[in-house]
Structure 1
Amino acid sequence: MSFSSKVKEELSRQLSPARHCQIAEIAAILSLCGRIQISENNRYRVKIHTENEAVARKYFTLLKKTFNIRIDVSIRQGIGNHKNRTCTVAVTHHEDAMRVLQAVKLIDPYGEIEENLSLAQNVVLMQNCCKRAFIRGAFLAAGSISDPEKFYHFEIACATEAKAKQIQGLILSMGIEAKIVLRKKYFVVYIKEGNLIVDILNVMEAPVALMELENIRILKEMRGSVNRQVNCETANINKTVSAAVKQMEDIIYIRDTAGFDSLPDNLREIAELRLARPEATLKELGEALDPPVGKSGVNHRLRKLGNMAELLRQERPDTET
Structure 2
Amino acid sequence: MSFSGEVKEELARHISPARHCQIAELAAMMNYCGQYGRDSEGNYTIGFQMENEAARRKGFTLLKKTYNIDTGAGISKEQMQELLSKLGNLEEPVSHLLIKNSCCQRAFLRGAFLSIGSISDPRKGYHMEFVCTTQEKAKRLQSVIQGFDIDAKIVLRKKYYVVYLKEGSGIVDLLNVCEAHVSLMKLENLRILKEMRNSINRRVNCEAANITKTVNAAARQIEDIEYIRDHYGFQNLPDNLRQMAEVRLENPDAPLKELGEYLEPPVGKSGVNHRLRKLSEIAERIRIK
Q: TM range, normalised to the smaller chain?
A: over 0.9
The separation in 2 between residues aligned to 1:114 and 1:10, in whole angstroms, is 26
1:44-83 deviations in Å (ceiling 9; x for gaps): 42211221111112112212222333223xxxxxxxxxxx
Task: Say whether the 8 Å CA contact 2:127–2:166 is kept in structure 1.
Answer: yes
Equivalence for 2:146: 172
Contact 2:133 2:160 in 1 (8 A): yes
Deviations 1:227-278 (A, max 9, x none): 2222221111111111100001001111111121111221111111111111
Q: So what's the TM-score if we normalise by structure 2?
A: 0.93
Q: Which residue type is aligned with residue 22 of structure 1?
A: Q
**Aligned residue number for residue 82 of structure 2:** 99
Note closer, same or farther for the CA distance 1:71–1:183 as it changes in structure 2 (3 Å cut): same
- Closer, same or farther: CA 94–43 of 1 in aligned 2, 3 Å: farther
> Matches of 1:179 and 1:294 in 2, distance apart?
55
Q: Where does residue 110 of structure 1 map in the other structure? A: none
1:118, CA displacement in angstroms?
Answer: 6.8
Q: Deviations over 1:116-165 (max 9, x none)?
A: 5376xx32112111111111101100000111111111111100111101
Measure, in 2, the Cα distance between the counterparts of 1:131 and 1:233: 49
Q: Determine the structure 2 residue equivalent to 1:66.
A: 66
Higher helix share: 2
Aligned-partner residue type, residue 162 of structure 2:
V
* TM-superposed deviation, 1:172: 1.4
SS in 2 for 1:156: strand
Change (3 A) 1:280 1:114: closer
Tell me which residue corresponds to 1:117.
93
Corresponding position: 1:146 with 2:120: yes
| Distance 1:149-1:189 versus aligned 2 partners, 3 A rule | same
For 1:237, the aligned partner's letter is: I
2:93 counterpart letter in structure 1: L
Deviates more, 1:90-99 or 1:154-163: 90-99
Q: How does 1:139-288 map onto structure 2 within 5 Å?
A: 139-288=113-262
Displacement of 1:7: 0.7
1:224 deviates by 2.0
Structure 1 residues 3, 114: closer, same or farther in 2, change over 3 A?
Answer: closer
Tell me how far apart the structure 1 counterparts of residues 85 and 236 of structure 2 sit (CA, whole Å): 102
Structure-2 residue corresponding to 1:319: none
Distance 1:70 1:300 in 2: 87
CA contact 1:32–1:142 (8 Å) conserved in 2:
yes
Asked whether the equivalents of residues 154 and 192 of structure 1 are also in contact (C-alpha less than 8 Å), the reply is yes
Quote the offset at 1:23 in angstroms: 0.8
TM-aligned CA deviation for residue 200 of structure 1: 0.6
Q: Which amino acid aligns with 1:60?
A: F
Q: Give the 3-state SS of the residue equivalent to 1:157 in structure 2.
A: strand
Q: How many residues align?
A: 289
Contact between 1:142 and 1:156, CA under 8 Å: does it hold in 2? yes
Task: Give the root-mean-square deviation of aligned CA atoms.
Answer: 2.0
Percent identical across equivalent pairs?
A: 59
Q: Residue 61 of structure 1: SS of its match in structure 2?
A: helix
Per-residue deviation at 1:91?
Answer: 6.3
Deviations 1:285-308, CA, capped at 9 Å, x for gaps: 011222211011111111111111
1:98-129 deviations in Å (ceiling 9; x for gaps): 333333x22xxxxxx4665376xx32112111
Q: Larger deviation: 91-100 or 196-205?
A: 91-100
Could you tell me how far 1:184 is from its partner in structure 2? 1.2
**Distance verdict in 2 for CA 1:41–1:2, change over 3 Å:** closer
Q: Which moved more, 1:34-43 or 1:264-273?
A: 34-43
For 2:91 and 2:177, the matched residues in 1 are separated by 24
In the alignment, structure 1 residue 127 sits paired with structure 2 residue 101? yes
Structure 2: segments with no counterpart, 5+ residues: none
- 1:36 Cα offset (Å): 2.0
SS of 1:45's equivalent in the other structure is strand
The letter of the residue matching 1:11 is L
Distance 2:82 2:97 in 1: 16
The gaps in structure 1 that reach 5 residues or longer are 73-89, 107-112, 316-321
**TM-score (normalizing by structure 1):** 0.84
